[in-house]
Chain A
Amino acid sequence: MNDGFIAPEIDWAVVAPVLVVLGAGVLGVLVEAFVPARARRVTQILLTLAALAGSLVAVVLLWPRVLRDGFAFIVDGTYLLTPFTLGVQAVVAVLAIPGVLVIADRTSSGEDAFAPTAAAVPGTAYEDAARQAGLQQTEIYPLVLFATGGMLLFPATDNLIVLFIALEVLSLPLYVLCATARRRRLLSQEAAFKYFLLGSFASALMLFGIALVYGFAGTVSLETVVLVLQHPELSPLGTMPGLVLTGVLLVLVGLLFKVGAAPFHTWTPDVYQGAPTPVTGFMAACTKAAAVGALVRVLFTLAAGFDDALRGDIVVALWVVAILTMLVGTVAGAVQTDVKRLLAYSSIAHAGFLVVGLVGFSELGARAVVFYLLAYGLATIGAFAVVTLVREQDASGVVLGEATRLAQWAGLGRKAPWLTAAFALFLLSMAGIPLTAGFLAKFGVFQAAVDAGAWPLAVLGVLASAVAVFFYVRVIVLMVLTPPADERAAPEAAGAAAPGAAGAAVRPVEGGGGTAAGVVTAARTAVARATVVVVGSRGPAALAIALCALGVLLVGLLPASVLDLAGEAAKFRP
């Protein structure tokens, strides 16, 4: 009768947390076009922070409603309002704010972390010209907003196609952001390319998985898939559980890739190392929160329809992923010599702990995971923010890039006691030492695992934590108890003349391998001779570090209210 387009009834208030951020992203693009260059940066930063705060406010306003009215399906489940959705959105928004603050910081050396023109080939005259012209990249702020929008949508849908779109919306801006590092341009572009390539593979696999699930159930709505699982006669292929198993596993691959769980973790260290450090912090914390949120949404929803065989197969897959991830993260983390890579492997290990919390498909697990994401995110953003401030300095006093080699961090405690204390706090939280947020987070996931009968997993997790403590403590020992390299070098200088000469001979050979040989060699030689200096923040990053440290301590000491909120958020199904 009526073939015309029927506009769906949409409760716009429910979509507000996502809309605010995406709308601000569009606005940000307009700002790029119309706001004069000198005011652009400030405008963008304020717009971005306002959008994130607005999103957070929207979540807070929706919270009583969802507790009262229960779940809301918008446009047939394309958008889903549940306590769990709001909980993950709140975590993403809360973490994105300090993340953006770090991105916005220009250190006392007067420059931010981003290349003046990301498209320029590293080391070319064009790039030099752009730098001298004082160009700055303010497009990063809308990109961050689009990514955040995708993250907010990711755990908030019942529809697998929308899930895929959210994945792409959050990934594409991140690929670009990874390529924009001001220093070590080649590494940054390599990281972006690697991330893009592997990310595309993961997306493709996920899409294939969605197709298989659709083939099985004749629908892309998770709730309907559950219905078909319970009543196979509803769908022509409903009697082929192998189809849905393969499909779900492939969807999991896509999600686990974003989470950074082994064996889909290989991009993590390279990308975390190559990307501009503020972006790494943002990506590590917020992407993981969103992706784990989506993982929980898909898994826990479908779990209601699984029979024992299906459930068993999925649980085995999760066990394997959890064990592998914890193993890779902690063992490989223990031998890293670069701070950013070390934090990357630590992030992999955390992905493993998160998966440990999921194996029971229980509310206890969902609560633990939401809490974990917050605790982990605060410590991660804070830690990467500290990394942005520890720099190299050449003989003439010019501040260079970040001093990421671990050895350079020796004796940092004397140069910057407060910064060191904050970094130590973040590391202790990641290690799960009591009275920090990280301890309760770990306690929660292990509790969920033991409750689900997966106590071997919890024991393995505990052992992995013990190994992880080793490499976190190693960094603390280095910063606090080891004298700085320059101080140690002085008395040893006389005796070490010969090895020093040998090192000088090796270095140019190393550098010669680079593409822009001259520049790279010069840079590397400079790096090798540089001393380490802690640059001051112009405010935002310092504020972010303070906020994160405060968060880690407060959530660690008085976790009751946060845990209660996480407990309310753990209701993930109607």
Chain B
Amino acid sequence: MSSGFPWLTVLIAWPLVAAAATALTGVGRGRPSAGVVRAGRFGAGAARWVALVGALVEVGLLVGAFLAFDTTAAATYQLTETYRWIPALGASYAVGVDGVALLLVALSVGLVPLVILAAWHEQGGDRSRLRRYLATVLVLEAFMVAVFAARDVFLFYVLFEAMLIPAYFLIGGFGQGSQRRYAAVKFLLFSLAGGLVMLAAVVALYLQVPVEQRGPQTFLTENLIANLAASLDPTAERLMFAAFFLAFAIKAPMVPVHTWLPDVAENATPGTSTLLICVLDKVGTFGMLTLCLPLFPEASRWAAPFVIVLAVISILYGAILAIGQNDLLRLIGYTSVSHFGFIILGIFTFTALGISGSSFMMLNHGISTGALFLVAGFAIARHPRHSQRIADYGGLRIVAPVLGGTFLVAGLSALALPGLATFVSEVMVFLGAYGRWPAAVLVAVPAVVLAAMYVLLTYQRMFTGTPSADVANVTDLNGRERTVAGVLIAALVVLGLVPGPALDYVREPGQVSVELVGATEPAAATTQETTQGTTEGSEQ
């Protein structure tokens, strides 16, 4: 099964090596005091460089993986590796990516060096703590890559649950909010509750496979899809779908199980929020797309109306709540609830256009929200009290024009301004959804206006007017911060103007998903043209 260089295993293993190197850099320097080894100034400072170089090497490896990937067959798993892991349970170590998974791996790998750069002076100047923070970030990166690459349901589940632990420590141990422990526990309990319900379904999934077809690779996704098709009992299918969907909806997060997200956004560092909301939560929507739809096609079609209603509620409710927030990071958290609603809406349209739009949106949302979180973090770091309250700012644009400019662009991408990547994906989702659920689109469209409100009102309150006393003397973004913001904005603009190459990765998987779920295109003839049309339209 394995072919060529094991790109994915290396991509999974390398961050762990980098994490170990980061964690060990500078340990033992300085004198131990009170039983705790305190690292010397130089040692812990060097740890940042180790982490950054490690993350950049990972980007290099990612480029290699991209070169090895064949875009003309984006819907099939490539770079596959399959090894026996727990034959007795039918679980194997099987990795492989299709176009969607590869884009999400790219998102994870691409964001990590930026998060590390953004965190350069974080953790209150405590370098030893910063070192542990960066090491944990790298550990989380390994899990994120692995979970998107997993081609075995059991392996996916194991990673899905296990990555809660580093995420939990990132929130609870390194967060900046006073309620960080509460937020961390809330996050963990929500996720674990969903995960355990999913566990019951994973167990049931194995037992639904006819005995004669069980083997050491029962849990391989493609084997499950092939073997379950004939034997699945409709009631069992719906129950299992519900269990999987609940876990993914909590992760995604979707109304009404989204309540952990704003607390986490408020209390974690912006870097943690970036990884958590922009990457980790994509596992939820990614799981819906790659597991719920193909494994439980009948149940997916059965549940679609409910899901669509919840998605539309998420879109509107998230946007309305975002408008009402006083806390900047909380606000960004709620905008994500709204955006995740769009992604889920697109997936459950069961049209190639909607699904590939959603896949593309997973990438774009990661970049644009990541930019918002990180730039917001730069603004907060400049405030003398590190206040997250929007009301404590004002007129920042005058003293820090670059900060204002980058925030505005990131915000505009959140409201899907034409020319930016998010616009392309949002249009694709709307068009895909309109073919099947026109009413849902009509109800959801006002969210675009609401998005304009929460972005522009925030910009107005924080950046325009006369500078408030607190921020009158702040400096503008330095080179390091400009690099972080610049890379993200460049990505948004490039993907917005030339979305074609990226869409090559998601178009075919979208079509295959529609086939797997067994839905017919509502207007089969026009879909393909529309896809092309959108692509070319945005390119101009």
Contact = CB atoms under 8 A, between A and B. Distances in A.
B325 to A, nearest CB: 26
A563 B181 contact: no
B85 interface: yes
A473 B199 contact: no
Given A459-B200, A564-B88, A435 B162 contact: yes
Contacts of A414: 36
Contact of A482 (B159, B181, B192, B203): B181
B85 A477 contact: no
A39 interface: no
Contact of B86 (A416, A474, A477, A563): A563
Interface in B172-200: 172-173, 180-181, 184-185, 188-189, 192-193, 196-197, 199-200
B439 interface: no
A559 interface: yes
Interface string B331-342: 000000000000
Contact of B89 (A440, A459, A465): A440
Interface residues of B, number: 36
Main SS of the interface on chain B? helix
A400 to B, nearest CB: 19
Interface string A433-476: 11100011011101100110001001100110110011001100
Nearest to B182: A477
A435 B158 contact: yes
Interface string A389-421: 000000000000000000000000011110000
- 9 shortest A-B CB distances, which residue pairs? A434-B158, A563-B88, A434-B161, A434-B162, A435-B162, A462-B196, A462-B200, A447-B203, A481-B172
A567 interface: yes
Interface string B189-232: 10011001101101110110000000000000000000000000
5 contacts: A434-B159, A435-B162, A451-B207, A477-B172, A563-B86
Given A434-B159, A434-B162, A435-B158, A477 B35 contact: no
Interface of B: 35-36, 84-89, 157-162, 164-165, 169, 172-173, 180-181, 184-185, 188-189, 192-193, 196-197, 199-200, 202-204, 206-207
B197 A473 contact: no
Contact of B193 (A417, A435, A440, A466): A466
A559 B207 CA distance: 20
Contacts of A466: 189, 192-193, 196
Contacts of A559: 86
A125 interface: no
- Between B36, B88, B89, B158, the greatest number of chain A beta carbons within 10 A of the residue's beta carbon is seen for B88
A451 B189 CA distance: 28
A469 B187 CA distance: 13
Contact of A439 (B36, B158, B181, B204): B158
B204 A455 contact: yes
A379 interface: no
A477 B89 contact: no
A560 interface: yes
Contact of A473 (B35, B180, B185, B202): B185
B89 A473 contact: no
B173 A481 contact: yes
Contacts, number: 90
A414 B164 CA distance: 22
Given A433-B161, A462-B196, A481-B181, A446 B203 contact: yes
A434 B200 contact: no
Contacts of A455: 200, 204
A458 B204 CA distance: 10
Given A367-B88, A481-B173, A563-B86, 6 more contacts: A462-B196, A463-B196, A480-B173, A481-B180, A481-B181, A559-B86
A323 to B, nearest CB: 16
B87 A560 contact: yes
Given A434-B158, A459-B200, A481 B87 contact: no
Contacts of B89: 440, 443-444, 447, 563
A95 interface: no
Contacts of A20: none
B165 A480 contact: no
A148 B522 CA distance: 70
A481 B174 CA distance: 9
A428 interface: yes
Given A415-B35, A462-B199, A481-B172, A473 B181 contact: no
B365 to A, nearest CB: 27
A368 to B, nearest CB: 10
A367 B204 CA distance: 18
A473 B206 CA distance: 29
B162 A433 contact: yes
Contacts of A474: 185
Contacts of B197: 462
Contacts of B165: 428, 433
B184 A481 contact: yes
B189 A473 contact: yes
Contacts of B173: 480-481
A498 B181 CA distance: 29
A440 B165 CA distance: 17
A220 to B, nearest CB: 36
Given A440-B86, A481-B181, A447 B192 contact: no
A331 to B, nearest CB: 16
A414 B37 CA distance: 10
Given A439-B158, A481-B184, A447 B85 contact: no
Interface string A504-522: 0000000000000000000
A185 B170 CA distance: 43
Contacts of A463: 196
A443 B181 contact: no
Given A443-B89, A465-B196, A450 B203 contact: yes
Given A434-B162, A477-B172, A567 B184 contact: no
A457 to B, nearest CB: 11
Contact of A480 (B161, B162, B169): B169
A439 B154 CA distance: 12
Contacts of A563: 86, 88-89
Contacts of A442: 199
Contacts of A558: 85
A181 B203 CA distance: 44
Contacts of A481: 172-173, 180-181, 184
A465 B164 CA distance: 16
A439 B36 CA distance: 32
Interface string A532-570: 000000000000000000000000001110011001000
B200 to A, nearest CB: 5
A275 B161 CA distance: 36
A474 B192 CA distance: 14
Interface string A471-513: 0011001001110000000000000000000000000000000
- Between A414, A417, A439, A481, the greatest number of chain B beta carbons within 10 A of the residue's beta carbon is seen for A481
A443 B195 CA distance: 13
B192 A469 contact: yes
A560 B184 contact: no
Given A415-B35, A434-B159, A560-B88, A473 B203 contact: no
A333 B161 CA distance: 23
Nearest to B84: A560
Contacts of B196: 462-463, 465-466, 469
A445 B515 CA distance: 36
B207 A560 contact: no
A451 B206 CA distance: 9
A422 B199 CA distance: 25
Interface string A137-155: 0000000000000000000
A571 to B, nearest CB: 14
A443 B172 contact: no
Contacts of A480: 169, 172-173
A455 B201 CA distance: 10
Contacts of B86: 440, 559-560, 563
